[in-house]
Every structure is written in structure tokens, then in C-alpha cells.
Amino acid sequence: MATPTGLPRVKIAFENGALGSVLPSPDGVLGILCTGAIVASKFALLTPYIIKSFAELETTYGITVANNPNIVKIFSDFYAEAEEGTEVWLMAFANTVTLAQMVDSTIAANGKALVLAANGRLRGLIVARTPAGGYTPVVTAGIDSDVAAAVLAAQTLAEWAATTLMAPLFVMIEGRAYTGVPANLTDQGTLTKNRVGILIGDTVISSDNACMGLLAGRIASIPVQRNIGRVKDGALATLTAYLKDKTVEQADPGSVHDKGYITLRNFVGRTGYFFSDDHLCTLPTDDYHTLTARRTVDKAYRIAYDTLLNELLDEIPVNDDGTIAATKAKSIETKVENAIINSMTVNGELGNNPGDQNDTGVSCYIDHTQNLVSTNQLNVVVKVKPFGYAKYIDVKLGFKTLTS
């Protein structure tokens, strides 16, 4: 250390790192797959781009209403909901590419390429399509048959991301070409695609599209445990909302919701429009039948994986019979629990009881009777506690009298 010179003085240096803080998890980082058009020397198809502001579309990539109206609308809606600076990934496709092809995991250059390019950062994909003029959809069960095909392909892609990349994600698909008749829709609650959801409804009358930008922006701006339809978060950033050729007020969003789709709705006495709920295309009995459950457990998955990765191929002390030493098992359990507590519980993302200081909302358990020497396999059980949601509120109201 050099000998100080100059006037005598007191110097205090700020230390950093004592709190063990880390950068916030990118829980709202999404990828958008949609139809687009080439902008010479600025914007190409089948190419991953990172966007962080609406203005960047034109200033950096030359994207305007004239050459890419659907991309402009998606991102205008997105940044009306999410803050400027919010990271979102974009990949555009020719207008001949279907929704199902965009998320087909067997086509390496399509959505799979965007997932790989993001290197695990994406928490979800938003998928929309605008075909060329004159396109006639093959309508099956009240909607473009391409949507049903996309649901199957999207589930496969999302499962691949979870099991191969260890980077789970969900997929939201545009409910294209809705005919306006809820009774014709397939009940998505009969499927088993618990990483996929479908949105019906747009801000433009008689549109064959859906307001995927608003959906993406709302998801990106809220924590993982929050329902996209939460009334306290305020109305969506639009003054208009339609289900095909009818305003939401004149349409039947309740029946669309009952068929397992996400849609738009309004409330008497409240200005504006809200998302109905956060259904995914799976059975109501599925633990992960809502986007809130999916995002919550996926975040816990990522944290547990990152924590346990440090234990891979590490030396683990064992008892004489080959079972894991209790102290080591407890040490690993504590590491996993603390990691989830510090990243989720402290942020209010798990449904722990605030009146019970011992309720952290997470538990990790390792069976001490596992014979690690003979199997080389360590089985770990991690459970996180979800929130309850007041989706139905019933009130008994009457007059209070002296005899009541």
C-alpha cells in the first residue's frame, strides 16, 4: 500500500457486495414471432433482434407502418403496457409462414432459433400472423385451423426448451379468424397443453388478429404470480376492444372465457377493458392450468436448477451403507430453499402466510435413505406454495335492523 501524502484527512470507502444482491431475474423477457417484411440493409426475416424501445423499430431497423404495419401495432401496444427499455426479442417471417410453422421445433430456422439465440433468457413466446391479402382461413371449430395445429407444435417446443435447455417457457398464440360465435369454439379445457394459451379479441373491429402486443406488454410488466386480468393493475392501454365485429360490451366474452380462451372484457362502473383470466389449454384439474401457476413454477424451476447445478459431480459424503450423510442432505436442502426464498418469497411471489414466520412458501426435501454410492443419483423434491385468487366473490347484502 502506498504511503498517503497531502493534508491529514479521514477517508471512507464504500464497500459493495456484502448484501449478496443479484441482478433482477428477467421474468418478463419475451420473444415475439410474427409476420414481417424485409427492410433493405436494416431488417431481415428469420433473424433474431433485441428491441428495447418503440422508437428503435424505425430508427434502427427502418420498420414503419408503411412496410410492417402489424409489427408496428404489436410493439406500439407492447410499449403502451410495458415500460420503455423493456427487453423483447423479435423474429419475423414471410406472410406464407403459418402459426404452426413458426413454432415447429423440427424447423431449426424458425422459433427454435430465436429460443436458442436468447440462450435461455426467454420466459415466453408471443405468436401472431398476418397472411397476405386474399388469404382465406380454413375455419374449424370457430377459428382458423392453424391455431389448433400451432397449439400442438408450441407445446412440443416449450417442453423441449424445458427438458433440453433447462429453460422453461410458455407460448401465447393469436386466436386468428374467430368467427364471433363462442358456441363453435373447441373447449380448450379438454386438452393437456399446459404451456400454451390462446387470445381472442382485438382493438380493431372485424380483425382476424388478436391484440398480442397488449398481452405481451401486460405479461412483461407484472410479476410471475400476478394474473393478467387483475383489476387493481388498471385497464389495458386501449380505448377500443372487439370480439370480431362486436364491441366487448355487445359480444359474449363470458362464453369465450368458459371455452378456455383468454379474451377481453369490461366491468360495469369501470372505464376501460381488461383481460378475462389467464387460462392455458389444459384440464382445469391440471396444477398448471393458468399462466400464473406456469410462470411461478417455471421461475422456481430455473432457480432450483441453477442451485443444484453447483452440486453436479461434487463429492458427497455418505454413511457406511452408501446413503447420503444427513448433514450434507440438509445443506443442499437449505441452499435450494434459500435461493428460492431470496428470489421469490422476499418479492411476494409465493403464497406464504405472512403471519407465520416459518412459512417461506418453499420446501426442499432429500430422502436420507437414498443409496448414492450404488445409484449415483440424488433425488430432490422441491415444492412451492401458490397464491389463491378471488375469481368469484359472492356477497350477501341486506338491511341492518334492530332485529337482524
pLDDT attached to residue 20: 45
The position carrying cell 437414498 is 370
**What pLDDT is attached to residue 17?**
47
Task: Give the pLDDT score at 316.
Answer: 93
Of the ranges 6-10, 47-51, 133-137, 393-397, which one carries the lowest mean pLDDT score? 6-10
* pLDDT above 90: residue 14: no
221-233 tens-digit pLDDT: 999 999 999 999 9
Which tens digit of pLDDT belongs to each residue from 159-170? 999 999 999 999
Q: What percent of the chain has pLDDT over 70?
A: 93
Residue 133 has pLDDT above 70, yes or no: yes
Q: How confident is the model at residue 354 (pLDDT cuts 50, 70, 90)?
A: confident
Using a 10 angstrom Cβ sphere, with 0-12 exposed, 13-18 middle and 19 or more buried, the burial of residue 160 is: middle
Neighbours of 99 (CB within 10 A): 26
Residue 323 confidence (pLDDT) above 70: yes
Q: How confident is the model at residue 252 (pLDDT cuts 50, 70, 90)?
A: very high
Cβ-based neighbour number of residue 76 at 10 Å: 16
The predicted structure's pLDDT at residue 22: 42
pLDDT at 312 over 80: yes
Does the pLDDT of residue 8 top 60, yes or no?
Answer: no
Chain segment 262-285, per-residue pLDDT in tens? 999 999 999 999 999 999 999 999
**Degrees to nearest 5, angle at CA 216 with 215 and 221:** 100
With cut-offs at 50, 70 and 90, classify the pLDDT of residue 93.
very high
Cell numbers for 34, please give them: 410474427
pLDDT band at 321 (very low <50, low <70, confident <90, very high): very high
Q: Could you tell me if residue 92 is left (phi over 0), alpha (psi between -120 and 50 degrees) or otherwise beta?
A: beta
- pLDDT score recorded for residue 92: 98
Task: Name the range with the highest mean pLDDT among 17-26, 64-73, 375-384.
Answer: 64-73
Give the model confidence (pLDDT) of 45-65 as tens digits.
999 999 999 999 999 999 999
* Other residues' Cβ atoms within 10 Å of the Cβ of residue 67: 17
Q: Helix, strand or coil for residue 41?
A: coil
Mean per-residue pLDDT over the chain, rounded:
93
Average pLDDT over residues 354-374: 93
Task: Please state, in angstroms and rounded to a whole number, the distance separating the CA atoms of residues 403 and 384.
Answer: 47
Alpha-carbon dihedral sign for residues 250, 254, 255, 261: positive
Average pLDDT over residues 340-346: 95
Tell whether the model's pLDDT for residue 294 goes beyond 80: yes
* Cα 311 to Cα 27, 99, 307, distances in angstroms: 25, 40, 8
Q: What pTM was computed for the model?
A: 0.92
